[in-house]
Structure 1
Amino acid sequence: MAIITRTDIDAMEKLYRINLINSCSGYKSANLIATASEDGFTNVAVFSSVTHLGSNPPLLGFVTRPAVVPRNTYENIRNTGMYTINHIHQQITQDAHHTSAKYPKEVSEFDQTSLETEYKDGFAAPYVKGCHVQIGMRYLSEYKIEENDTILIVGKIEHLHINDTILENDGFINLAKAETATINGLDGYAVPNQQTRYPYQRPK
């Protein structure tokens, strides 16, 4: 087993270090966050940091990089307060990954890929058409992480659109049936092909 110390990490070539540290936390969620600017420009970008924060109220968070350069997703969310989170599935991983390319605000990633916008229920932000789980979010707050200047965005779920075939009777969303992808590091995509569920555990 390889033993890597903090001194080793600090001395690593940049790309090697980025790949290593982005992979060591394990598989991460794979989502497309879609927004629209106040002047109508749409934006969609891949994020691997979306996480559950609580069920009542239903809160999700995600981390965005420092706003020292234009961050279209962040700016659109701050200006409009609305965004959507869309699960990446096996058939769209390549297009989803391409949304990590840095386009100017006036160029929509929807136009540079086969991804399509979809508007529902009068919600201001676009969903990604064909995603099996689509979540309409309202911005609540943000917290700057002082150690590296990243920003934790906290939002509240306003709408949930879930494919009927993956929603089970007890409310469990079967992501394996949906072929929902996960991200390993920055650029590795995996799709689970099986899962095990265990009942709620109590002390023996």
Structure 2
Amino acid sequence: TIRALATPNTPFAPDQKPNTCDQKTVPIIPGESKVSIYNLMISAVAPRPIFLVSTMSDSGVVNVAPFSYSTVIAHNPPTVAFSCTHTSKGIIRDTLRNVQQNKECVINMISEWFLEHANHTSADYPPEISEMERANLTPVKSDIVKPPRVGESAVQMESTVEGFHETKDDNGNTTCTTVFCRVRKFHISEDVFDHEKKEVDIERYKVMSRLGGNKYGRMDGYIDISRPKYDKSSDKAN
């Protein structure tokens, strides 16, 4: 059960300082510290959405892989993005190769009921092997794009690739490629769709997120806080 939680600072007034305003910080400069920046970032920037991306190679092999460097970019038009890190030798992943060739993919969200199967797709299988088959996931024919959807996913987004952005290190080597995708069609499971509110029911959705290390997160509670509105006459936001 997902619980509605109380706000931590009640009653709240914007002129009050938070309790942690005098905290001490640990300074870390990338490239000048023994700290693993990878471990630091995936533990600090959390929770993160996970996109289970299904693609298809030119030879028809279906690739499925999870990406936690992922997010929503815009709702009009519906645009999402995920980043594919390159190997230490500069080799690109199967997913990136496929979307560069075919400019299509399906973004499948991961729910608790098939977490282990989704995690299995992160294994480093060779390009000629389908992770969809090895993880025993169910391929469902898409309506617009060639790559199939993952039948176990409660939210599936058929997408076309709009563009790429390469991230380079100080030596000019490409270390990561971000893929920007426009969602052409949503498929939402009846089991999680709230027909009255026209949105996904977060309690039934049981969507998973990514934390540091090998940890996954699930939603057990939420805090509902309304956005303040600025009043020009009083010069305050309430």
TM norm. shorter chain > 0.5: yes
- Hey, what's the Cα distance between the residues in 2 that align with 1:2 and 1:165? 46
Counterpart contact for 1:144–1:152, Cα < 8 Å: yes
Q: Does 1:47 align with 2:47?
A: no
- Hey, what's the Cα distance between the residues in 2 that align with 1:127 and 1:194? 29
- Hey, what's the Cα distance between the residues in 2 that align with 1:2 and 1:103? 44
- Residue 201 (structure 1) shift: 4.2
- What residue number does 1:116 align with? 138
- Hey, what's the Cα distance between the residues in 1 that align with 2:207 and 2:52? 12
Within 5 Å, give how 1:19-38 maps onto structure 2: 19-38=39-58
- Residue 127 (structure 1) shift: 0.7
- Hey, what's the Cα distance between the residues in 2 that align with 1:74 and 1:175? 30
- What residue number does 1:11 align with? 34
- Aligned in 2, Cα 1:193/1:71: closer, same or farther, shift over 3 Å? same
Q: Does 1:150 align with 2:176?
A: yes
- What RMSD, in angstroms, separates the aligned Cα atoms of the two structures? 2.3
Residue deviations 1:113-152, cap 9 Å, x none?
Answer: 1222111325311111121000101001011123463111
Q: Which runs of 5+ in 2 are unaligned?
A: 1-22, 231-237
State the TM-score, normalized to the length of structure 2: 0.76
Flag the structure with larger Rg.
2
- What residue number does 2:152 align with? 130
Question: More helix per residue: 1 or 2?
Answer: 1
- What residue number does 1:171 align with? 198
Counterpart contact for 1:176–1:191, Cα < 8 Å: no
Quick one: which amino acid aligns to residue 34 of structure 2? A
- Aligned in 2, Cα 1:7/1:125: closer, same or farther, shift over 3 Å? closer
Counterpart contact for 2:86–2:92, Cα < 8 Å: no
State the TM-score, normalized to the length of structure 1: 0.87
- Aligned in 2, Cα 1:116/1:65: closer, same or farther, shift over 3 Å? same
Within 5 Å, give how 1:24-103 maps onto structure 2: 24-66=44-86, 68-103=90-125
Q: Which runs of 5+ in 1 are unaligned?
A: none
Quick one: which amino acid aligns to residue 150 of structure 2? V
Quick one: which amino acid aligns to residue 79 of structure 1? Q
- What residue number does 1:190 align with? 217
- Hey, what's the Cα distance between the residues in 2 that align with 1:143 and 1:161? 27
Residue deviations 1:20-49, cap 9 Å, x none?
Answer: 321111100022100111110010001112
* Number of equivalenced pairs: 201
- Which runs of structure 1 show a deviation greater than 6 angstroms over 4 or more consecutive aligned residues? none
Residue deviations 1:42-68, cap 9 Å, x none?
Answer: 100011122111111111111111372
Counterpart contact for 1:97–1:187, Cα < 8 Å: no
Identity level (%): 21
Quick one: which amino acid aligns to residue 177 of structure 1? R
